[in-house]
């Protein structure tokens, strides 16, 4: 089956620093990946669609300069939280869609805590 990994699984950083989260499709190539944010006991909120070789598409209300997305290869998308603040603390989840499938496969998530 399709496997998606994320790194790191958790990260603690100081306010004002930037944090990069990686999302990799391990056994397939993905032209499209998605980044979600999940608050405690709440649903997944789509932040952006990551497109290989082109700019990401951000959902309404998501600051593109705050959450930088790079999809430089068919197996890797990165989300960089720039100048992180405590309110950015959350659980970030990525997903990827294998070729010829219409199903999203999810990574295990990255828990970010900004102090």
Binding site for another protein (CB under 8 A): 32, 34, 42-44, 46, 49, 93, 95, 97, 102-109
Looking at the Cβ atoms of 88 and 107, the one nearer to another protein is: 107
Looking at the Cβ atoms of 43 and 65, the one nearer to another protein is: 43
Which residue's structure tokens are 């999302």?
Answer: 23
Looking at the Cβ atoms of 11 and 44, the one nearer to another protein is: 44
**What DSSP state is assigned to residue 76?**
E
Q: How far is the CB of 97 from another protein (least distance, A)?
A: 5
Q: How far is the CB of 90 from another protein (least distance, A)?
A: 15
**What DSSP state is assigned to residue 31?**
S
Q: How far is the CB of 96 from another protein (least distance, A)?
A: 10
Please give the C-alpha separations between residue 89 and each of 13, 15, 27, 28, 97, in angstroms, as whole numbers: 10, 10, 30, 30, 26
**Side-chain half-sphere of 11: how many Cα atoms within 13 Å?**
24
Q: How far is the CB of 43 from another protein (least distance, A)?
A: 4
d(CA 17, CA 54): 26
Looking at the Cβ atoms of 12 and 46, the one nearer to another protein is: 46
């Amino acid at each position: 089956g399709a496997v998606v990994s994320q790194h790191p699984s958790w990260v603690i950083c100081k306010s004002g620093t930037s944090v990069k989260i990686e999302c990799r499709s391990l056994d397939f190539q993905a032209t499209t990946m998605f980044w979600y944010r999940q608050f405690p006991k709440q649903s997944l909120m789509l932040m952006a669609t990551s497109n290989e070789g082109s700019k990401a598409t951000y959902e309404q209300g998501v600051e593109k300069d705050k959450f930088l997305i790079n999809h430089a290869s068919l197996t890797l998308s990165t989300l960089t939280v720039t100048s992180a603040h405590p309110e950015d603390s959350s659980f970030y989840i990525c997903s990827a869609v294998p070729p010829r499938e219409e199903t999203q496969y999810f990574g295990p998530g990255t828990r970010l805590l900004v102090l």
